[in-house]
Amino acid sequence: MISYKKAFIYMIVILVNVFLIGNCHPRPHEKQAILSNERPNILWLVTEDMGAYIPPFGDSTIQTPNLSRLVQEGVIYPNLYSTSGVCAPSRAAIVTGMYPSSIGANHMRTNSNMDNTGLPAYEAVPPPQVKMISELLRVEGYYCTNNYKEDYQFKAPQTAWDESSKYAHWRNRSDNQPFFSVFNFTETHESGLFEPYGHRHIETRHYHAGDTSYTWKPGRMTEVKTPVHLSKNTKFPIPPYLPDTDVVRNDMWKLYNNISEMDRQVGAILNQLEKDGLLENTIIMFYGDHGGPLPRQKRLVYDSGLNTPMIIRFPNKVNSGTIDDQLISFIDFAPSLLSLVGIDPLDYMQGQAFLGDYKSKEERQYIHAAADRFDGVTDVIRAVRDDRFKYIKNYRPEQPYYLPIVYRERIPTMQELLRLRDEGQLDSIQRQWFRGSKPVEELFDCKLDPHELNNLAQHPAHKEKLEELKNEMTRWLVEIDDEPNLSERDLINRLWSNKTTQPVTSSPIIRILDGKVEIYCSTEGASISYRKITPKSTQQDSWSIYTDPISIPSNDDDYILAQSHRIGYKPSKKVKVAVRELK
């Protein structure tokens, strides 16, 4: 049985094919070449707190001309799921290809809320062989930029990016060098619902490439369509777990207008790419960092907190106007990125490639997610979902679902919910989130019950499905070495090997070996960055990744500057050695 939402999505795609495409296209799993022999550029357009609120995914409340263009020329992926309903753990999964709860990245911001937890700031510590996906691509010759949010639950090594700042751009690379560029859009973030509300200031960003200066004014370029801001009288689709009041409708008005602003900025980036003549050798990927920003969405493991829309445009519009409805997890991004550039995904990655030369032979059967500490409040929840049903295990059933998170309570809708709760004016559906306790197990039919309101865990008719998903969760927890009831203090002890302070990466040793400069670090898994310092060097020069011995600079007054850094450890001190000292 097809849900109304999915049926609507299919109807949109059919109309696009008939009226805009004009011919038939194979589905992505059919063998149509995506790329030429050249290595593709990769462009990620990442927005925040993004549910399926846009026309290509069944919600026609707001117009998104630039995202709709991507859909006309690309592929819709309606079944992408984050590993967490909040950003930092999710981004850890994206850049490593590993589940946050397997590397100590599952608590929201490991370096914050220390006053509430009484714990020291720490970082996730993945196995020593783990590298950020951007570093792996840099080793392969890609120019990698991030503009500009990081938030990975660990400090990114200098080897991670050629540039990571609000000025980072593919235009700063060498001629014809392939690039991997990430642009992050904050307009749709939860904080965009706070009061006082106003469209955020959009700054002018300047980019430099050689002797040419470029200016980007997001949303102000004449080629980019002006966003359509909605009237407050618009009839907004209010989910049943929120009350239909003036306050909630006003927040929905903000939500959709924020999406419109984000769409305009997406258009500015696409315009730059096309002006640079790079459109047809670039794989463009749009997605959100988890589900929606509203109460009972963000931070939860319901689909409203995990599911986020994804659109991929392949060069020459390959497979345009199609839907790929396979299950995809954020941990699949890193292996898929390697696969797309012709590299076999690494063994430590817990995800699987859903695209490229090394695409998995079998599509994903389950996605998994977790919820732990959010700011100063902790819960412990694990979830597994197949293409229809979701099983949730609550490890702290004595706690209510609702957690008093100060940041979230700045949203007027959250304040409205609390007011109506205290006045006894919420209906039975809206009261569910405020129950004083939770069942240990929950089972939802996400097709018939997309808001996950009717717990089927005790229904005899669903006993077999409950056992299947329960067994899958047990298998998953063992496989990734996740102990849900492990306290955060004990987690830190494990990450730091029972030491009282964060481990520090050993300093690099720079020496001459067989007529070459060799740089060595005794810390297993450490990445080594280096720079050759000459009179012409500037602070803006990228750090190179050390992989093999390098030639000795000819000028005795030049220097080699190096630093070692294993993810999750503190970086080493920088070591500076004059060339004359090496000879």
Phi and psi at 329, nearest 5°, equal: -110, 155
Is residue 180 domain-shared with residue 296, that is, in the same domain?
Answer: yes
Q: In sequence order, what are the beta bridge partners of 576?
A: 561
Q: Is residue 198 part of a domain?
A: yes
pLDDT of residue 10: 37
**Higher pLDDT among residues 17 and 321, named by residue:** 321
Q: Predicted confidence band at 218 (pLDDT cuts at 50, 70, 90)?
A: very low
CB 529 within 8 A of CB 550: no
Kindly tell me the burial class for residue 85, based on how many C-beta atoms sit within 10 Å of its own C-beta (0-12, 13-18, 19 or more).
Answer: buried
What one-character DSSP code corresponds to residue 542? P
Burial 226-257 (b: 16+ CB within 10 A, else e): ebeebeeeeebebbebbbebebbbbbbbbbbb
294 with 192, same domain: the answer is: yes
Mean pLDDT of 45-63: 95
- Any domain includes 339: no
Quick: pLDDT tens for 494-548: 999 999 999 999 999 999 988 899 999 999 999 999 998 887 777 667 799 999 9
457 and 571 in one domain? no
Whether 175 is in a domain gets the answer yes
Summarize pLDDT for 112-123 with one digit per residue, the tens. Answer: 999 889 999 999
Domain count of the chain? 3
pLDDT at residue number 351: 98
Considering the domain architecture, whether residues 276 and 375 belong to the same structural domain is answered as no
Res. 6 pLDDT band, cuts 50 70 90? very low
Q: Do 522 and 554 fall into the same domain?
A: yes
Domain contains 343: no
Please give the residue range of the domain that contains residue 56: 4-81+131-322
User: Which of 43-52, 178-187, 213-222, 409-418 bottoms out in mean pLDDT, i.e. has the lowest?
Assistant: 213-222
Query: Does 102 map to a domain?
Result: no
pTM of structure: 0.89
pLDDT at 201: 46
* Distance of alpha carbon 526 from alpha carbon 144, whole angstroms: 20
Residue range 354-381: mean pLDDT, rounded: 97
> What pLDDT score was predicted for residue 224?
52
CA angle 38, 44, 46 (to 5 degrees): 175
In which band, very low, low, confident or very high, does the pLDDT at 227 lie, cut at 50, 70 and 90? low
Domain end among 495, 525, 549:
495
Q: Confirm whether 116 is domain-assigned.
A: no
Q: Which of 24, 87, 144, 521 is catalytic?
A: 87
* 526 and 489 inside one domain: no
Is the pLDDT at 344 greater than 60, yes or no?
A: yes
Q: What percent of the chain has pLDDT over 70?
A: 88
Dist. CA 166–CA 583, nearest whole Å: 40
Domain boundary among 292, 322, 352: 322
Domain presence at residue 105: no
Verify that 461 and 515 share a domain, yes or no: no
Strand partners, 283: 42
Averaged confidence pLDDT in the chain: 89
What is the structure's pLDDT at 283?
98
Position 352 scores a pLDDT of 98
Q: Do 484 and 538 lie in a common domain? A: no
Is the pLDDT assigned to residue 550 strictly greater than 60? yes
Each residue's pLDDT tens digit, 255-268: 999 999 999 999 99
Whether 347 is covered by a domain: the verdict is no
Same domain, 459 and 552: no
pLDDT at 202: 39
What does the pLDDT read at residue 360? Answer: 98
> Which CATH number does the domain housing residue 571 bear?
2.60.40
Percentage of residues in the chain having pLDDT higher than 90: 80
Taking only the tens place, the pLDDT of each residue in 291-307 is 999 999 999 999 999 99
Give me the pLDDT at residue 198, please: 66
* One domain for residues 431 and 537: no
**Same domain, yes or no, for 47 and 174?**
yes
Average pLDDT over residues 412-429: 98
Question: pLDDT band at residue 32, thresholds of 50, 70 and 90?
Answer: very low
CB 357 within 8 A of CB 33: no
Distance CA 336, CA 351 (A): 9
Specify whether 87 is catalytic: yes
Domain boundary among 454, 473, 495: 495
Q: Pick the range with the lowest mean pLDDT from 222-231, 355-364, 417-426.
A: 222-231
Let me know whether 515 and 479 are in one domain: no
Q: How far is residue 359's CA from residue 352's CA, in Å, rounded to a whole number?
A: 7
